[in-house]
Amino acid sequence: MIHLHALSAYTLLNSTLTIDQLINKSKELNFSAVCLSDKHVMYGVMEFKKKCEKAKIKPLYGMLVDVKDENDLILMEIIAKNDIGFKYLIKFATYLSNHDNLPIEYLEEVSNDLITIVYCDEKDLESPLINEQQDILEIKLNDLKQKFINFYIAITLNESSFWKSKNTILRNICNKLEIKKVAINKIYYANEEDAYSYKIIRAIKENKLINDSSLPLIKSRYIKSEAQMYKEYELDELLATEEINAQCNVQMHYAKANIPIYPKNDKVSSFEYLKQLCYFGLNRRLNNNIKENYKKRLIYELNIINKMHFEDYFLIVYDFILYAKKHGIYVGPGRGSAAGSLVSYCLGITDIDPLAYNLLFERFLNPERVSLPDIDTDFPDNHRDEIIEYMYKTYGNDHVAHILTFNTFGAKQVIRDVGKVLNMPNYEIDRIAKMIPNAPKITLKKALSDNQRLYKIYMQDKRVHELIDNSMKLEGLPRHTSIHAAGIVLSKENLQDIIPLINQDEHMVTQYTMEHLEELGLIKMDFLALRNLTIIDDTVKLIHNIDLTFDILKIPLDDEKTFKLIRQTDTVGIFQLESDGMRNLLKKIQPTCFEDIALTIALFRPGPMENIDAYLKNKSDPYKIKYPCKEVENILKETYGIMIYQEQISTKR
């Protein structure tokens, strides 16, 4: 047998079960397959798919759905039999993001590709079963049977003596009507001892105290072994789970999304149009004095872009940046690997000449490692939304979506939430929460390890011990959804045919998080909102009141007064130079040229940061540096023998 009803923590605040727990526990208990069946959502599907593949356990994709049948509201579970059925799940999840229930007619039309399981222990079928109104129940179940092809009735809660008696009645009706029955163990948490954590998370959701009489401790909602299930259910009901498993074979082999085609004159191909724009832009950048090395580099880049079919991507980015500039919206000069692209420079996507700074195109696009391009674009924080609105208007609401993220129970947040549920005084909750460092990715375990005072209180105070132990069990679980601060996705195809979506404020949001979108062919674009750009933009406008000829992109990069300020670490308000750590490094490096600033920023990143002391030592006495050969010296001389830039590691250099 296998388990067909598992609510993960992605049914927000209704489960403590993680995808890892679901798969690992199922594997430990020797189940060959397992079904994920979150209610009305598919947030966890891609994570579930990948981790099932890694664990070599078969994934079944289901969803719990409230279904409206005339005057009745019925809880059903629908499980995809095949890729067609899976795509219906996607459509239904999108529909349910904006509706409380699904009309039964929607399911009837596609029942051949879905397994349909009806629950009689919830919603409007519960009352006639509890009151043993067999005639009413017979009529309702027989009517449902006529509507669906792969139809089952769930036998649930059979460990309860009350429901055992009710299930006997339900079994008799099913036998009379020749309706198949299936054993369902509802799973909301991984292990038997997790029932209390489940009660806490429900209390958080319902804003109740843990001792509220309306909040019972719900037991037996864990992943049970096959032996336990055989004790609680009848053989035919358990075999039905295998029968359902055998019918399901979702491969997700349907077509991926594609980059939208840039809207233009149909008489010219996207690549030819891109090429024309690039040569026009190169002439403009170099004042009609194109050197051979620039010409060769442009041909090389265009050939790779054409080979990888990314011409429309570059045209799309070119277009929204052109829109911004035409509408007086300041655009950042470019950042990241895109600065290594001459095509980007020619199109005005970036304002950095990659040949002048020996930047490699392969860091951005590499035909040997096929991955989607990623151009991060900076806009003033008061204009970013205008660009996103332009994308929606240009490509349509069905082809553009924001990207979902989850706000999780962080170390401080979970202490406050659990402390409130446990009815601890606010001053005591605050005292514990303030002992947790304000550090990225801090965990309660690390806080206990790093803060001896917190650890001492934890060991001596029973209530604090209970607070932290219970908080640790919820820490890291998704708490509520949010929207990615910068990213949107684009698709040539209708997004509702590719992924499940949420309808939010008249715009669509993906139900899958960012790390799962690229493999589905969806192109991600980051529109970054920077306060610093707003300040620069406002400053330039003030200068233009006096001097209209001023151009921020033509300011000198060798101004000694500027470097003096930087050496004095008077850099508050300067992007990437204002943190305490960066200012401390600037004081040590004492930049004298623009390249020194770029190097300082690169050196302050994880990885190169470990070599700060070695760099400073080598810089103070470069004659003591020993290079293994001339080729290495040519590469590392500018950084005093230390590998700092990715370009220095590339074999293409």
The pLDDT, as a whole number, for residue 553 is 87
Checking if the pLDDT of 562 tops 90, the result is: yes
Q: From residue 290, how far is each of 283, 354, 359, 493, 548 by CA, in Å?
A: 7, 15, 18, 40, 29
For residue 374, list its beta bridge partners.
none
629-648: average pLDDT: 83
For residue 151, list its beta bridge partners.
116
The one-letter amino acid code at 605 reads: R
Q: Specify the fold of 410-476.
A: Arc Repressor Mutant, subunit A (1.10.10)
Rounded Cα distance between 170 and 184, Å, is 14
Rounded Cα distance between 8 and 23, Å, is 11
The one-letter amino acid code at 521 reads: G
Rounded Cα distance between 107 and 67, Å, is 9
Structure tokens at 480: 């509520």
Structure tokens at 305: 């872009």
280 SS3 class = helix
For the structural domain made of 19-247, what CATH number should be given?
3.20.20.140
Phi-psi region of 56 (alpha: psi -120 to 50; beta: other; left: phi over 0): left
The residue among 472, 471, 483 whose CA lies nearest residue 527 is 483
159 SS3 class = coil
Checking if the pLDDT of 652 tops 60, the result is: no
598-617: average pLDDT: 89
Checking if the pLDDT of 386 tops 70, the result is: yes
The pLDDT, as a whole number, for residue 74 is 98
Domain spans of the chain? 19-247, 270-405+482-532, 410-476, 544-648
Model confidence band, residue 650 (pLDDT cutoffs 50, 70, 90): low
pLDDT digits (tens, 9 = 90+) for 508-559: 999 999 999 988 989 899 999 999 899 999 999 999 999 999 998 889 999 9
Cα–chain center distance at 308 = 25
Q: Cα dihedral sign for 133, 136, 140, 143?
A: positive
Rounded Cα distance between 585 and 596, Å, is 11
596 SS3 class = helix
Rounded Cα distance between 244 and 53, Å, is 20
453-468: average pLDDT: 96
Q: Say what the pTM is.
A: 0.89
Looking at 15-19, 309-313, 353-357, 635-639, which range is the least confident one?
Answer: 635-639
| Phi, psi torsion values for 629, nearest 5 degrees | -160, 170
Rounded Cα distance between 372 and 211, Å, is 52
Segment holding 180, helix H or strand E: strand 180-184
133-151: average pLDDT: 96
The pLDDT, as a whole number, for residue 313 is 94
pLDDT digits (tens, 9 = 90+) for 96-129: 999 999 999 999 999 999 999 999 999 999 999 9
Are the C-beta atoms of residues 340 and 360 closer than 8 Å to each other?
yes
